[in-house]
Amino acid sequence: MQNLSNKIQDAAKKLLEEKKVDVVIGFEQGSLPLRSTPYFARTPEETANLIWNSGCENNLANYLRKRSDKVAVVAKGCDVRSIVVLVKENQINRDNLYIIGIPCSGMIDQNKVNAAVNGKEISEAAVNGDQVVIKGEGFETTVALADMIHDFCNDCKYPTPVIFDELIGEKIVGKDNVSYAEIDEFEAKSPAERQAYLAAEMSKCIRCYACRNACPMCYCSECFVDCNTPEWISKSIDAGDNLIFHAVRALHLGGRCVDCGACTRACPMGVDIGKLTRKLAKDVKVLFDYEAGVSLEEKCALSTFTGDDSEEFLVKE
């Protein structure tokens, strides 16, 4: 990882020294163990703060919309898929963007780390090869790094960015096919069981909108939940209104979600948000053989049609 960090710093420094970009967006060390935080390097000297490790989980595509300056971004596979979608939606000017692509071997799931130490406060932690050493007051635990990786990272089909201007690191081959096992299990439930499951999940939501704010694709200038006239849903955290919010958001992401997991990571209440977005992703794949963010040339699934499109979802008399 240190070698990758050095290479990122060198690439960023060169771009800024040659004035090819105005800013390089990447990561710096966070204030908490195993955490990294987005960082904006605007001078060659500031690039020394850039790092790469298994805590660089934020989707940096969030910082690229509607910018007029020239930007370089340190981007992993899911970040770049988001960028591809946003370029196609005219939210990012590709001519002003330089992509430093990083093949990603997966990001650490903080929930799994916390579970590994039974919720004890962690004062120090570090990745050492294929292990994670975690320390706190009166304890030290070593766990396998592979066991701490996010589930959606383990299921990633595109760990190597699909497009880039410069690639740092060896290409990583992703899975041949995305597993939708948990969606298959959900679909196998009866309507009553699915309703009960969603009602239980939605009852946990406090409508903080962290999921919306963390999502690169949620960029409407005014979200329907913030409207007062008409007021589509109440401002309370009624489970029914929560379900409307999450269902509409998932529909809005149909054919656009790249399954980066930003919404799930951002949720402070552990709501299974991914159940809805991955359900939509699976349906779009099955119906239209389309995956979001893998091609700049391919038209968005829900922005075009062909005579061969499945119409099984249409209500017919």
pLDDT (tens digit per residue) in 94-134? 999 999 999 999 999 999 999 999 999 999 999 998 999 99
- pLDDT of 104: 95
291 and 188 housed in the same domain: yes
Number of domains in the chain: 3
How far apart, in whole angstroms, are the C-alpha atoms of residue 57 and residue 250?
A: 21
Q: Say how far apart CA 205 and CA 292 lie, in whole Å.
A: 27
Q: Which tens digit of pLDDT belongs to each residue from 45-73?
A: 999 999 999 999 999 999 999 999 999 99
For the residues of 109-169, what is the DSSP string, one character each? -HHHHHHHTTTPPPSEEEEETTEEEEEETTEEEEEEGGGGB-HHHHT-S--S-SS-SEE-S
Helix and strand tally (H, E) in the chain? 10, 8
Matching residue, tokens 């979001």: 292
Segment 177-191 mean pLDDT = 91
Residues 235 and 183 placed together within one structural domain of the fold: yes
**Which residue in the block uniquely carries the two structure tokens 């390097």?**
41
Q: For residue range 198-235, what is the model confidence (pLDDT) as tens digits? A: 999 999 999 999 999 999 999 998 888 888 888 888 88
Residue 153 domain-assigned (yes or no): no
What residues contact 117, with CB distance under 8 A and at least 6 apart?
A: 134, 136, 139, 141
- Beta-bridge mates of residue 108: 149
Whether residue 248 is contained in a domain is answered as: yes
In a shared domain, residues 195 and 289: yes
DSSP 34: T
The answer, yes or no, to whether residue 316 has pLDDT greater than 70, is no
28 and 96 in one domain? yes
**Separation CA 275–CA 137 (nearest Å):** 37
32 and 163 in a single domain? The answer is yes
Do 183 and 119 share a structural domain? no
Residue among 187, 210, 209, 213 nearest 198 (CA): 187
pLDDT score of 314: 67
Q: Is residue 195 part of a domain?
A: yes
CB contact at 8 A, 106 and 156: yes
Rounded to an integer, what distance in angstroms lies between the CA atom of residue 233 and that of residue 231? 6
Residue 242, both tokens: 């929560």
Compute, in degrees rounded to 10, the torsion defined by CA atoms 245, 251, 257, 262: 10
Domain of 44, in residue numbers: 1-106+158-176
- Residue 120 is given by DSSP the state P
- Do 63 and 200 fall into the same domain? no
Q: Which residue has the tokens 């949720």?
A: 267
Dihedral pair phi/psi, residue 214, rounded to 5°: -85, -15
Q: Are residues 170 and 37 in the same domain?
A: yes
pLDDT category at 315 given cuts 50, 70, 90 is: low
Match 């005219």 to its residue by tokens: 90
Residues above pLDDT 70, as percent of the chain: 97
Task: Kindly tell me the burial class for residue 50, based on how many C-beta atoms sit within 10 Å of its own C-beta (0-12, 13-18, 19 or more).
Answer: buried
Decide if pLDDT at 166 tops 90.
yes
Q: For residue 222, count other CB atoms closer than 10 A to its CB.
A: 7
